[in-house]
Structures are given as C-alpha cells and as structure tokens.
Amino acid sequence: MTHKKRWIAASATIILAFGLGYVWRATHFQSHFLSDTEIAGVHVGGQTAAQAAQTLRNKLSNQRYTISEHQRTLTTFTSKEAGVKAYSTATLQQLLAKQNAFAWPMHLTTAAASDQSLSKQAIDQAQLNRLASQVVASAGTNRTKTVNATLVYQQHKFQIKAPTYGTEVTQASVAAALSAAVRQDKTQINLKQAYVKPTVLANSPKLKAAKTKATTLSKNTITYHLAQHTVQIPSDTIASWLTTTNGNVSVSQPQILKYLTKLSYKYGTVHHARHFKTTGGSTVTVPAGLYGWSIKVASETPKLAKIVLAGKSTTRTPVIQGTGYHANGTDIGNTYVEVSKAHQHMWIYKHGKLVISTAVVTGKPVKGTTPSGVYVVWSKQRNATLRGQNDDGSNYASPVSYWMPVDDTGVGIHDSPWQPRYGGNWYLTHGSHGCVNTPPSVMSKVYATVPLKTPVVIY
C-alpha cells in the first residue's frame, strides 16, 4: 500500500471515529443537560433530569439570601421563606427536550450559553408577597417619594420638571427585586434594586406634546359677559387649571369651580347689600336677602372645562341662577315693593310709577321683627292658612285670602282682617310674627298688581 493510500485510510478512520463519537455524545445529551448548563446559578451540566432535580432541591433548600441597604443588613431569608419550589423531574425533562443536543461541542467551555433562571412559576407569589411586605416594613417610612416627570407652570410658561428618583419601596417593587434575585441565584440583594422607578421621564414624547398643547390652550381667549361687566380669563389662570396624566392634558374642575365661585361673589348680587333710595328721598343700606342673581357654578363648571379643552376663542354669559339679572346691569329696577318698618308703610312701584301706597303692620319686636333685606315674591296663593306659634308658645292658624311669601323663613305679605288699625306704633304691641300685614281693602289690589319675581325691599 502506498504512502498516499495509507494516509487516506487513516484520515477516513479518524473521521469515522470522530463522527461516531460526535453522535454518541449527542445521543448522551438527549437525556443529559449540556456540560455548561446552570439553573438559577446551580451547575447541572451532564446530569439527567432526575439528578438535576435532586441537585436543585439540595441547593435551594439550604440557600440563604441577605438584603442590605447602605452597607446595613435589613433582613435575611431562605429559599423556603421566599416560596421557592424546586423543579420537578417532569419540568426538567421539558427543559432537556428544548436543548440542542447536537450543539454539545459549543458548550464544552462557554459557561453562559446554557444559563437558565428559575421560572416565575417556581416561586409561590403569595409567599413572596408576604416576605416583601416584611421587607417594606423593616425598610421604614422615612423615604423620598419617586415622582414622574411632569408638566409645571412657572414664570408664566409651561416647563417639564425632571422626575425624582426616590428611595420609595413598595410590596410590588420589592417582590419583583426578590423574585429576580432568587431566580438568578443572587444571594446578596441591595434594596436599591427595589426602589420604585419613575415611569415618565423628561424626554417623554407624550409629555413634550402635552407641553405644546397646554401652552396653546392657556393662551386662548375666553371672555364672560356679566351684566355690564366684561371679564377675560387671564392666561395664567387658565394655565393653573391644566394638568397632565400619562401625557394627556386635562382640566381641574375643582379649580374652575373655585374660580367661578369667586367670580360669582364679585359680580353677582344675591350676596350683596344694596344702597337704596327710599320714597322719602334718603338712601339706606339694605342687607342681602333672597333677591339677586349668581353664577350657577355647578352647571357652568363643566361647560367652561369643555371650552378650555376646545381651544377656541369664546365669549359667553355663564349659566345664571336667581332673579334680577339684566344684561344692562340694572338690579332692582323700577318695578318693586318698598316696606319701611320705621314708617309702617308700603309703597308699590310699577315701571317707575307709584301705584299703591298703604299703611301696614310689620312684626312685633323683638321676637317677631320683620327681617330687613332685599327679598322677592317667589309664590302667590289664594285662600291660604298661615300656621305657627304665638309668643306664649300656643299654636295659631290664620286663614288669609291673599298670600305672597317673600323669604325662606315664612315671611310674606298678606291681608289681615284681625288688625283693627295700621301704621303708627301699633306694631310695637300688636305686630305680626314677621309678616307684612296689609289692609284687606288694599291687599286684593296688591295681589293683582305685583307679579312673581318682583323684588321686595324691607328696611
């Protein structure tokens, strides 16, 4: 045999031997883990599923973990306390079936190629949560709260405020950190790994878009007409209502309601005393009563919120409640009822003309004194029975032909056939329980002349 033939034969023998060896090892690794395989940091290379299950049980049953922060140990725990359940032989058989047995030469020296963490199913979540709660308790509450990047309004412009990376920990954040450490066989755990992390950063595209939108909305022109007043809502005020949640711009309705309440109190009339020129020519200050108007803030708030988010210039009169609102700014007007307690007299004006003038009897001081204020005829009734208590505590029931209540305590204007006289000082000893007693001969005309919602000025 020539030298060349001998070389060919030898090479074929070597190749055949290598091939047989390769196939034999591949067959071996169909029932054994590849040489460098680790599960949760535990080396199980070359072991069968049953052998690996026993190795993991031995390792995990005695594993101890330490949690520290700033070089101070907070607590220690075992795998069992963390709820770790060792893999069963059947589970490991499934892992074996997924490995590529024919790639065994690549796993002779590359330790990282077949590293595997414990699956989440290998840890009892309820038990892990209990352990996490204990860690949170031991960590204490004096911690810096983590805050997402957010939109703030400062120095008349919107700016993105960077997030705060705090030291805050929660059950969920600690449980996640413990689970990762246990699954990866990291026995030393720094609590910093469990700090709650911000979910919105300063470079968030949604936050940048929100900044642009909020800036545009804040510069919108929104104008209110309130009687003779024109009020444009300042840009800074609109900006103070805008908030962002997950990058979405919204408005704070409580803040809008607060603004409208102040606006209502400033321009509305129901809460304010009036300077009233009497029939006698003097000017008196009359306290607020039921008459007057205000902004119905509960109804106007959602409307204004919608206008702000629409971003379109708007001019409107807000939703008004009460009586006496006039676009020209007039209040009591020239149709009203005037009652002077000092003069025991009532005048009724209609369109600026005096149509009725009559002596009356008001409430007996002090208990029955007729309250001063600007009230309103809010109802009219025929043949009513007025009920209440006399000064001695006994009950009374007084039938009247005409009844016109003006406040919310039972005070009104009505006929009083039991009164023998009107005007003068008669009210000091025979005054009413607070109502304006009117002569029956006049009351029918009063009833016919005075419409609902007519202001009644008592002073």
Query: Is 225 among the residues known to form the active site?
Result: no
Q: Which residue has the tokens 């949170």?
A: 136
Structure tokens that stand for 1 in this block: 């045999």
CB 322 within 8 A of CB 294: yes
Residue 106 main-chain phi, psi, to 5 deg = -70, -15
**Long-range contacts (CB closer than 8 Å, 24 or more residues apart) made by 295-300:** 295/226, 295/260, 295/261, 295/263, 295/264, 295/267, 295/268, 295/319, 295/320, 295/321, 296/320, 296/321, 297/257, 297/260, 297/261, 297/264, 298/257, 300/260
| Distance, CA of 263 to CA of 274 (rounded, Å) | 18
Coil, strand, or helix at residue 254? helix
Which is the catalytic residue, given 32, 345, 414, 433?
414
| Distance, CA of 103 to CA of 112 (rounded, Å) | 14
- CB half-sphere exposure, 292, CA atoms < 13 A: 23
Q: Which residue has the tokens 């008669």?
A: 426
What DSSP state is assigned to residue 119?
P
Query: Is 343 among the residues known to form the active site?
Result: no
| Distance, CA of 452 to CA of 216 (rounded, Å) | 47
Which is the catalytic residue, given 32, 107, 433, 435?
435
Q: What share of the chain is helix, strand, coil (3-state, %, to 5)?
A: 35, 25, 40
Q: Which residues are catalytic?
A: 414, 435
